[in-house]
Amino acid sequence: MNKFLKELILWILIAIPFIYLAMVWKNLPEQVATHFDLKGNPNGWSNKTNLPYIIGAMGIGSYLLMLLIPYFDPKKKIVQMGEKYYSLRLMLTLFMSALSFYLLYVSNKGVINPNLLIALIGAFYVVLGNYLQTVKPNYFIGIRTPWTLENEEIWRKTHGLGGKLWLIGGLVTILIAFFTKNNSLLAITFGTVTAVISLVPVIFSYLEFRKINKNNEN
């Protein structure tokens, strides 16, 4: 697949929420719901003219960020990732497009289904978990702690563990989103899973660093 076609696919994904917004624009009230409580009831509103900027920041903003990152990579590690980096860009663009579409749908209907939103994020965790296990050392993407950046072996082990945790955490999140109707329990579980899969790899990388230093001293 040539470079133009690859970028075109990304732009089509970015355009989908804007197309949907154009379709429902006349039906939207001047003030749309943009924040909801744990029960899915709206408790915050914004003028509908802000919606294009919100989805633009999510879709176009993330696209431009990922497009520019390789130019700021001093050791050109991102470029060396080749198709893997494009896969990440595609994955992130798809997620942002789906999230933007859902937020616009919610603004149009005036009610949110927290379970569906959490399930969508859980699916993103699963895909990201698979991706993390293949990421090579670099300064911009992955579990970048002082210890993983210091040692390639620590990077490899940390991303192996982190990838599995994010995958399992995503599956747990999806299951709970589908099988619980208690929104408070859903929020607590989601927060706990996110904290665990985020913090454990960081702690693990530090412990591995200490272990290596201790072995070197001996």
What pLDDT, on a 0 to 100 scale, did the predictor assign at position 34? 73
Three-state secondary structure call for residue 200: helix
Nearest C-alpha neighbor of 29 from the set 13, 14, 42, 15? 42
Three-state secondary structure call for residue 29: coil
The tens place of each residue's pLDDT in the chain, 218 residues long, gives 688 899 999 999 999 999 999 999 998 888 887 777 666 677 777 888 999 999 999 999 999 999 999 988 888 888 888 888 999 999 999 999 999 999 888 888 777 788 888 999 999 999 999 999 889 899 899 999 999 999 999 999 999 999 999 999 999 999 999 988 888 888 899 999 999 999 999 999 999 999 988 777 66
Type of residue at 10: L
Whole-number Å distance between alpha carbons of 18 and 58: 12
E-strand stretches of 16-151: 31-36, 42-47
Residue 4 dihedral angles phi and psi, to the nearest 5°: -60, -45
Contacts for 114 with CB less than 8 Å, ≥ 6 apart: 36, 38, 40, 183, 186, 187
Site of tokens 């003219």: 49
What pLDDT, on a 0 to 100 scale, did the predictor assign at position 76? 84
Whole-number Å distance between alpha carbons of 201 and 28: 44
Where are the chain's structural domains? 1-112, 114-218
What pLDDT, on a 0 to 100 scale, did the predictor assign at position 68? 92
Three-state secondary structure call for residue 42: strand
Site of tokens 């992955």: 142
Whole-number Å distance between alpha carbons of 196 and 161: 12
What pLDDT, on a 0 to 100 scale, did the predictor assign at position 38? 61
Torsion over CA: 149, 170, 93, 25 (sign): negative
What pLDDT, on a 0 to 100 scale, did the predictor assign at position 172? 95
Structure tokens at 90: 């595609």
Q: Look up residue 110 and give its DSSP letter.
A: T
